[in-house]
Amino acid sequence: MKQSINILISGGGTGGHIYPAIAIANEIKVRYSNANFLFVGAKDKMEMEKVPQAGYKIKGLWISGIQRKLTLDNISFPCKLIHSLYNALKIINNLNQILLLVLVVLQADQP
């Protein structure tokens, strides 16, 4: 009997990471049917809807990006960051033998 592997997939950015992450998970599932997947994403973002629709479990973290202007959202960012790091470490520590995939999509604006 083959040992199962736990695969943790996370990403961030403009939302362009979601479908590539699901495609990677789908391909891994074809090759390793005993793989277990867990996605981690930002609460209240698109991945919280799209990932379950694709048939995968997801856990949400209380996090957001930093705004370019001084806003009230930026004041809460340090608290969100500490809270999310703590919860991310809890998620990782609860999984045995994980493969971690992190996808980041960067958007370059013209000057």
Residue 96, domain member (yes or no): yes
As a whole number of Å, the end-to-end CA separation of the chain is 56
* Structural domain harbouring 93: 6-105
pLDDT in tens, 36-49: 999 999 898 888 99
Q: Comparing 96 with 25, which gets the higher pLDDT?
A: 25
What's the gap between Cα 88 and its chain centre? 10
Q: Which of 83, 65, 67 is nearest to 14 (CA)?
A: 65
**Residue 50: CATH number of its domain:** 3.40.50.2000
Number of domains composing the chain: 1
Alpha-helical runs (H) found in 1-111: 18-31, 47-53, 72-94
pLDDT in tens, 64-75: 878 888 888 888
Please state the φ and ψ torsions of residue 96, each to the nearest 5 degrees: -100, 145
pTM of the predicted protein model: 0.82
